[in-house]
Chain A
Amino acid sequence: MELFDLTALELGAKIKKHEIGVVEATRACLDRIGEQEKTVHAFITVTPELALARAEAVQRGIDDGTYTGPLAGVPMAIKDLISTKGVATTCASRMLEHYVPVFDATVTKKLEAAGAVCLGKTNMDEFAMGSTTESSYFGVTRNPWNPDRVPGGSSGGSAAAVAAREVFYALGSDTGGSIRQPASFCGVTGIKPTYGTVSRYGLLAYASSLDQIGPLTIDALDAAAVTRTIMGRDEMDATSVDVPLPGMPAGDDLTGLRVGVPEDYFGKGLASDVCARVMDAAKQLEALGATLVPVRMPILDYAIPAYYILACAEASSNLSRYDGVKYGYRPEHFEDLHDLYLTARSEGFGAEVKRRIMLGAFALSSGYYDAYYNKALRVKALMKQGFDRCFEQADLLITPAAPTTAYALGAHTDDPIQMYLGDIYTVSVNMAGLPGMVVPCGFDGEGLPVGAQLIGPAFGEGILFRAAHAYQLHTAFHRRFPGRKED
């Protein structure tokens, strides 16, 4: 078997058995990055020297028993909005082009303690605001399946890096679908855990009540292993909670599992290929013993407008910290302190970021607060009630992750609302705080990957891993990657 046919856990096991060295695996990934980056551009920063030094240290740690976990020695990458001490963390923005964190995010520390070997920081939409990775200040990422298509976003670099097998897994973040939609577009597995499961300390904030860190991986077992590594209560994040680790999934028996199929997710605007592949996946779960249950989620139609009000409102507040004083971009010319703030922000932020913070400032402004911000919080309550009703009848839901497969680069540049509409199936999950997972479930007529989304009740990660793993024991879509040598 070729190295790049392995999953993260399979590579971890080979490293443990000394069938392959950590340095060797790291070098192979760095070489592959060298080839793939010419077209894909999944990374903002690659750190070969640091990675090789780290690989040597991790190999020693494995040999002397310091690192015993299943992911020790496995090369991976981190989205460029998660703080990495001593390595630039730019949020894909000119504002933070030269920002080098002096501390690690909690997830970075946890992965380090598990023996992860980080190869670099992945590309994304600026401040995670976008669904295509085109708004990055450092240039677009291309979909490894077709370089004329977007990889999705905002964690497009993380998804593309895994799809191109530049790394064996990557961390992303998801505020309204930013792990799940690129996972779907790039044909990889990804999970946004329940809000509060993973500490957000050191994650550069977009919309704090919706943001959650999660992994993009090759399969459900890897997703479970990474999630188990990074989750847990953290005193640096007051919203983090202490929940028991979900077990590693095993077996393909789904007898007794009730899988809700919300018809509202299969209506107008859904591409027929996507609909067909997701229904195939539902039938596969049924074949493994699950029962399909029709459920309703009529409030879905209002998910996008409510989400954009809430996310932009929080963004306008969160991003007010960027003022050119303590860190970040500082213009050369300005008149006084006030003008320094304005100029730093006007020159440091890109168009989409400005658009969102202006909408957010509007929604929070006196006179409009009740009609927009409070109204959206009421819709959020209805969204949660809608899911609560679904979970009275079902243990998890299956839906598409996005209405289409990956579209052409530049397709939505002039019309952001068209891009926002693509978030229809994902944003409500963040508003209700629920876990959402994406598994590759086939390809469309053009050979582009399709992803199915599994939505669980709060802290129901274990149910999602179980269903996804059972599904993947009977399908091979997750094993395919562009240019793979067929067996």
Chain B
Amino acid sequence: MEITDKLVSYVAELAHLKLDDAQRAQAAQDLARMIGYVDQLRELDTEGVEPMSHAFPVVNVFREDEVRESMDRELILQNAPAKKDGCFLVPRTVE
């Protein structure tokens, strides 16, 4: 299939990636090759085969609805690149 600039921009947006012109051209080339490669699956007849998410049967796993200790706030914030007053710090989101 043809990998248009529009498709590359769309996929980059979905993936939350910012590409400059050179990277965009490279990404178009990479996507074309990879999609071209995986397209060989089209020749395989899968009519009537159900898509399988899990190799083994899985069931919901429940536990008692009881209060347990959660992680300390200081610990959770320990890896934050920016924090303030016990919260994660992000740029202003609402003007």
Contacts and interface: CB of A to CB of B under 8 A. Distances in A.
B46 A379 contact: yes
Given A302-B41, A328-B81, A362-B11, A341 B16 contact: yes
A393 interface: no
A interface bracket (residues with beta carbon within 8 Å of B):
35 or more
B25 interface: no
B46 A382 contact: yes
Given A340-B90, A374-B51, A378-B46, A327 B81 contact: yes
A308 B93 CA distance: 36
9 contacts: A309-B38, A320-B16, A334-B91, A339-B18, A345-B17, A357-B17, A362-B35, A416-B34, A417-B33
A381 B91 contact: no
Interface of B: 7, 10-12, 14-19, 27, 30-31, 33-35, 37-42, 44, 46, 49-56, 58, 61, 63, 71, 75-76, 78-82, 88, 90-93
B31 A302 contact: no
Given A100-B78, A384-B55, 19 more contacts: A103-B71, A302-B40, A305-B41, A316-B14, A316-B15, A325-B88, A330-B81, A330-B82, A339-B18, A341-B16, A342-B17, A346-B17, A349-B17, A354-B17, A358-B12, A362-B11, A378-B46, A378-B50, A458-B56
B26 to A, nearest CB: 8
B31 A358 contact: yes
A360 to B, nearest CB: 8
Contacts of B18: 339, 342-343, 345-346
A338 to B, nearest CB: 9
Nearest to A459: B56
Interface string A315-350: 010001001111111100010110111110110010
A346 B23 CA distance: 11
Interface of A: 98-100, 102-103, 195-196, 209, 235, 238-239, 302, 305-306, 308-309, 316, 320, 323-330, 334, 336-337, 339-343, 345-346, 349, 354-355, 357-362, 365, 371-372, 374-382, 384, 416-417, 420, 431-434, 458
Contact of B52 (A320, A365, A377): A377
A342 B76 contact: no
B44 A326 contact: no
Contacts of B19: 346
Contacts of B76: 102, 326
A345 B12 CA distance: 11
A325 B40 CA distance: 40
A382 B78 CA distance: 46
Nearest to A323: B16
B83 to A, nearest CB: 10
A358 B10 contact: no
A102 B15 contact: no
A334 to B, nearest CB: 7
